[in-house]
Amino acid sequence: MAAGILGAGPLRAQRQAPPGVTWTLDTLRSGFCVHFLADPAASSRGVFRGVAQLSARETPGLHPVLKRVIEASPEFSSWIPQRFCVLQFAAVRLGNYELRDTKHGRPQVVASWSTSARPDAPGAVALLVNNSRLSNSLKSIGMGADVLRSEFGKVPESTDDRYEIRYDGSLLTWDGHASGDSTAAASLDRDWVTPGRNARTLAVEQRLSPVGARLMVGALRIEGKGALAQALTASPIRYVGPIVWGGSGSMAFTVR
């Protein structure tokens, strides 16, 4: 009888554990963010509609480049700091299943468009991927991720790199190269919450520590009429970089 009672505890704990999904991120090939300021009126109507966003003057730990902009032009202090980040991995594992392009070697891309907001504000991060299987893996917990298209290669007749991201009517093209000595990379650990279906709230934990970073020298071209393109075009600053690489990590999605 005692053995039966002892065995029941772990079973109850398993039944009561909140449902979740974990992505294991294998080998960061490269990653970078575009930092910019969004028009508060436009941002309140778009992807982050209903989110209690923070202006540049309210944002703790404001990126130094954005800080210099509002110091030089105080009229932008009411604008919203945002960033669009692109991370490309050699593979992503879902349990025992691995997503890896063994034929062409194309990366698995995990991207995000985020706005400055309180840490507990749901909906401040929009998650994007280039593989629909990643997006579909979240459906069981009532979460979704938009699918983007990406191309990474060389600029024709040049040694510069080219990154192309297509998302919802927006095309971002960066041509350039890494510059300067390699330095230690900042951690990319992030925690946020996002609304799910059926009134659910989900917690997301990203754990990733790149091993190196370098400055990015080049030009960002923006085309299209999508919300991201419009936000970037309207911004007084579009700072790209640094580029980071190396290391592996995870993203855990848990229903609260």
Q: Is residue 12 part of a domain?
A: no
CB-based contact 195:203 (threshold 8 Å): no
In the prediction, which pLDDT does 46 show? 87
pTM above 0.85, yes or no: yes
Percent of the chain with pLDDT over 90: 84
In the prediction, which pLDDT does 160 show? 96
Q: Is residue 3 part of a domain?
A: no
How many domains is the chain partitioned into structurally?
Answer: 1
Q: Is residue 6 part of a domain?
A: no
Task: Round the average pLDDT of the chain to a whole number and report it.
Answer: 92
Q: Is residue 236 part of a domain?
A: yes
In the prediction, which pLDDT does 10 show? 54
CB-based contact 92:105 (threshold 8 Å): no
What would the pLDDT profile of 192-238 be if each residue is shown by its tens digit?
A: 999 888 778 999 999 999 999 999 999 999 999 999 999 999 999 99
The CATH number of residue 118's host domain is 2.40.400
What would the pLDDT profile of 25-73 be if each residue is shown by its tens digit?
A: 999 999 999 999 999 999 999 899 999 999 999 999 999 999 999 999 9
Please name the residues in contact with 8: beta carbons below 8 A apart, sequence gap of 6 or more: none
Check whether 1 has a pLDDT greater than 90.
no
Report DSSP letters for 159-222, one per residue: S-EEEEEEETTEEEEEEEEEEEEEEPPPP--EEEEEE-STT-EEEEEEEE--SEEEEEEEEEEE
Q: Is residue 1 part of a domain?
A: no
What would the pLDDT profile of 98-124 be if each residue is shown by its tens digit?
A: 999 888 889 999 999 999 998 888 999
Q: Is residue 241 part of a domain?
A: yes
Domain carrying residue 130: 19-255
Q: Is residue 11 part of a domain?
A: no
N residues, the chain: 256
Least confident piece of the model among 138-147, 155-164, 211-220: 138-147
What would the pLDDT profile of 93-104 be if each residue is shown by its tens digit?
A: 998 899 998 888
Amino acid at 76: F
In the prediction, which pLDDT does 15 show? 54
Cβ neighbours around 221 below 10 Å, total = 11
Q: Is residue 8 part of a domain?
A: no
Sign of the Cα torsion 91, 93, 96, 97 reads negative
